[in-house]
Structure 1
Amino acid sequence: MSAFSLSSDGKLAITASETSSKNDFDYLVGNWNIRNRTLKEPLAGSGEWEEFDATQEFRQILVGLGNFDIFHTELGGKPFEGLTVRLFDPKTRLWTIYWADSNAGKLDDGKVGSFNGDEGEFFGREVVAGKDVIVKFHWDKRNPKTPIYSRAFSVDAGSTWEWNWYSKFSRR
């Protein structure tokens, strides 16, 4: 999987795995049902989870150097949409994953990483609950018919991780 290190000024340095390629996300092409499980209050020491269903449409763009998906669900009884854009840099063999949703209406700063075989890890920084965190996305495609996405936050430079989101995919 991709590895990260921190520079003296706290910036993330990400290294691609040897097997990283523009085909890493090909398994996601098509339409999906998603069962999501999220921590209600990340970084609050809470063990209270909520679950909800969503759907997703995924397609490739830029002759395979990119892809995007549209995520649909209801949150709090209101329609919610998310957009993920993934771009592959053939020089560095790193993917950058960007997210935008119907609440914020803008792309985030992106998470960077790669796959090593059937598992991928992607890292970035965010402020969550007033804390500067490293964010880790984990993709598991060991069974490409039922892939799993998960997300974790670290407040201690990656020494420990709080897993706070799991998405289990199945074909529509």
Structure 2
Amino acid sequence: MPHGRILVAFLAVLTLTASASATAAGDSSTASATSPAVAADGQRDFHWEIGTWHTEVRVLADPLSETEDEWLRFEGTSVVRPLLDRRANVVELKVSGPSGRIEGLNMRLYEPSAKRWSLTFVNIRDGLLTPSVHGGFRDGVGEFYGDDQLGERPIKVRFLIHRQGPDRAEFEQAYSSDGGVTWETNWIAVDRRVGSHD
């Protein structure tokens, strides 16, 4: 699932990327998943996402360019698997369309000391990690920011997660080349749950 920021620097060349996530949380023996301490610090913010999702993705073919907008469409699945007694998870994205295929992993790690998440995407094609975005959830919306490069140009990245009930979510990635004054959305993914919530 993207991410997707969901997949920085993959857009121009349509690389294979992924979402794998892990949350570094405290010892589960000292606090239950529903205890106020756990809920307050945000380490379970992605717990709702565990399961299988049908994913529809739109990708801007040439972001931050002067060319006319061309959106590429993909469809497939995102599978979110729990790890370490659900204190971490891995998201596996597999979508395809007329323009090709996108596959990848996204790692999400919770930083207890900062009370924030880092989201890091794995480029399956070259085995490299993209720079992380950082942030958290407020009023049901996840908001994450980071720095990256598009070609040789430094950019800022914004990744938003809108949870729309237990069985639907939208993920949106945008780039900025002017320090965050203006943003151009380049990735939109809509996930709908397949089956029941684990």
TM-score of the superposed pair, with normalisation by structure 2: 0.71
| Structure 2 alignment gaps of length 5 or more | 1-39
Task: Give the partner amino acid of 1:102.
Answer: I
Deviation at 1:79, TM superposition (A): 5.1
Partner residue in 1 for 2:112: 90
1:112 aligns with one of 131, 134, 138? 134
What is the total number of aligned residue pairs between the two structures?
A: 155
Listed as ranges, the matches of 1:1-172 within 5 Å are: 21-45=42-66, 46-74=68-96, 80-172=102-194
Specify whether residues 76 and 106 from structure 1 end up closer, same or farther in structure 2 by C-alpha distance, changes over 3 A only.
farther
Alpha-carbon separation, structure 2, partners of 1:80 and 1:69: 13
Cα gap change, 1:62/1:88 in structure 2, threshold over 3 Å: closer, same or farther? farther
Shift of 1:96: 0.6
Amino acid at match of 1:26: H
Instruction: Provide the C-alpha distance between the structure 1 equivalents of 2:167 and 2:151, rounded to a whole number of angstroms.
Output: 35
Gaps of 5+ in 1: 1-18
Distance across 2 between alignment mates of 1:162 and 1:129: 16
Q: Which letter maps to 1:90?
A: P
Taking the aligned partners of 1:92 and 1:83, their CA distance within structure 2 comes to 24
Coordinate RMSD, CA, aligned: 2.0
Residue 95 of structure 1 deviates from its aligned partner by 0.4
Q: What is the CA-CA distance between 1:20 and the residue it aligns to? A: 5.5
Counterpart of 2:124, as a letter, is: S
Identity of aligned residues (%): 28
**Is contact 2:73–2:97 with CA below 8 Å preserved after alignment?**
no
C-alpha separation between the residues in 1 aligned to 2:159 and 2:181? 16
TM-score (norm 1): 0.81
Q: Helix, strand or coil: the match of 1:27?
A: helix
- Whether the 8 Å contact between 1:67 and 1:87 is mirrored in structure 2 is no
- The Cα offsets for residues 76-134 of structure 1, whole Å up to 9 and x where unpaired, read as 67654200111111221110111113222122221111001210111111111431100
Deviation at 1:60? 2.5
1:36 to 1:77, Cα distance in 2 relative to 1, 3 A:
closer
Amino acid at match of 1:141: R
